Amino acid sequence: MNATEARPGVADYLGRVRAALADLPADELTEVMEDVEPHVTEVFAEAGDADEVTRRLGTPEAYAAELRAAGGYPPPIPVRGGTKWAARYTLWVTLFVTVVAFGTGAVALAGRNGQFAALGVCVIFAVPALVWLFTGRVRPADVEALAEYRFGQRKARAVFARLPDRVVDYLRSLKPAWWLVRIGLVVVAVFASRGEAAVVLLGVVVLVTWAQPRSREDRRLVPVVVAANACLAGVVLALLAFAIDSGSQESRDYYPVYSTGGLTYDGSSLRNVYAVDGDGKAITEFYLYDEDGSPIKLFGRFCDENGYESEGYVNRFPLPRGVQQGPRHTCDPESGMPFVPLPPKATDTKPTDTKPTTAPTPSTTAVPTSAAVPPTAATSTPPTTPAPTTTK
């Protein structure tokens, strides 16, 4: 960091000198400022504050007048009555276009209809300002002499001066990479199938690449460079936000269909999942996974191995059932299934519940034995009629 950047007062003083000499040819102005900067910096180092520098050298405008006279340059072009109004219009329309360009860049890859309409309208309002700048009605010095411009410049330099040196050095080190980022933005727009955005971003990148190096000598190009860079910065921030959001979304990929109420099937909430083999025998322990190998978890309440009622997302099925005991949320695990499954090969109907609503009636037909129906139910009452015989 050089002395001018380290002391905002030096930069402000030199900026006002440059503004007072802005009507000089660009190459001659550069030579004058290269000679003046070391001298002003040395005086600042000796004086210690801006008031002492002003006492020694005079105001920046007075010092610039001395330099003009010493170099044999003509007096500055007098300011016409409407110049100040035109300069103020140029400043404020530049700020407005910059803000809109940033917002347009932020949504450039969203694929929305009319996303560049606002920027197009702003460009129409910016045309008079550009015409005034390039025809000489408004000089960059006229804009820089405005009170609001100088106020914003002082505030920006004060903020910049408070940054740690390591942060400033890091930001400066990123400047070469900005050229690669510009090309990358166009490539991203092409691969994202955003034809309109790709064309606009390509035009902005070409404009910045051409105008930014020239703006150091021709400050009439500064508004164009600022607005174009703001548009590209909006695209970069939008891509960073998308990348961060995509990373955080990965951990929630399987929970849009799962909720604290558990899994749902046909609109009904599931509290447990059971499985049987081809013969209808219960599978006592199994695990579910999706096509990517990620576990499918169910949120529910279950009786844990310590005899306490617990809740959470579990991948082991079926969830251990239990009967709650007392107010301390303890429970006694229950084994088995809450229904009598039929073999999948036999029927597709819903399995019967283990809690019948009516007592079984005697029948001459044998009842299949199961864990829920006692085997004596079929033999408790002898047949009342003999087996029918067929005679002809």
The torsion angles phi and psi of 105, rounded to 5 degrees, stand at -65, -35
Contact between 313 and 299 under an 8 Å Cβ cutoff? The reply is yes
Read off the tokens for 361. 């009636």
Q: Give residue 32's Cα distance to chain centre.
A: 46
C-alpha distance across the termini of the chain, in Å = 120
pLDDT (0 to 100) of residue 99: 93
The pTM (predicted TM-score) of the whole model is 0.50
pLDDT (0 to 100) of residue 64: 86
Contact between 228 and 269 under an 8 Å Cβ cutoff? The reply is no
**Cα four-point dihedral sign 218, 221, 223, 229:** negative
Q: Are strands 268-269 and 309-314 parallel, antiparallel or unpaired?
A: unpaired
pLDDT (0 to 100) of residue 224: 92
pLDDT (0 to 100) of residue 311: 72
pLDDT (0 to 100) of residue 145: 79
Other CB atoms within 10 A of residue 75 CB: 9
The torsion angles phi and psi of 286, rounded to 5 degrees, stand at -155, 165
Q: Which residue has the tokens 């000499």?
A: 21
The residue type at 293: G
CA–CA gap between residue 58 and residue 8 (Å, rounded) = 18
The SS3 of residue 321 is strand
pLDDT (0 to 100) of residue 348: 54
Q: Residue 343: which region, alpha, beta or left (left: phi > 0; alpha: psi -120 to 50)?
A: beta
Q: Give residue 248's Cα distance to chain centre.
A: 11
Contact between 258 and 297 under an 8 Å Cβ cutoff? The reply is yes
Those residues whose C-beta lies under 8 Å from the C-beta of residue 381, and which sit 6 or more positions away, are 362
The residue type at 238: A
Q: Are strands 264-265 and 268-269 parallel, antiparallel or unpaired?
A: antiparallel
pLDDT (0 to 100) of residue 92: 94
**pLDDT tens by residue, 2-56:** 444 445 578 778 888 887 887 777 778 888 888 888 888 888 888 777 778 888 8
Other CB atoms within 10 A of residue 238 CB: 17
pLDDT (0 to 100) of residue 127: 93
Q: Which residues pair with 340 in a beta bridge?
A: 352
CA–CA gap between residue 378 and residue 22 (Å, rounded) = 112
- Residue 285: how many CA atoms within 13 Å on its side-chain side? 1
pLDDT lower than 70: segments of the chain:
1-8, 77-82, 111, 192-194, 246-263, 267, 300, 304-308, 321-336, 343-392
CA–CA gap between residue 181 and residue 240 (Å, rounded) = 12
pLDDT (0 to 100) of residue 322: 60
pLDDT (0 to 100) of residue 253: 46
pLDDT (0 to 100) of residue 372: 42
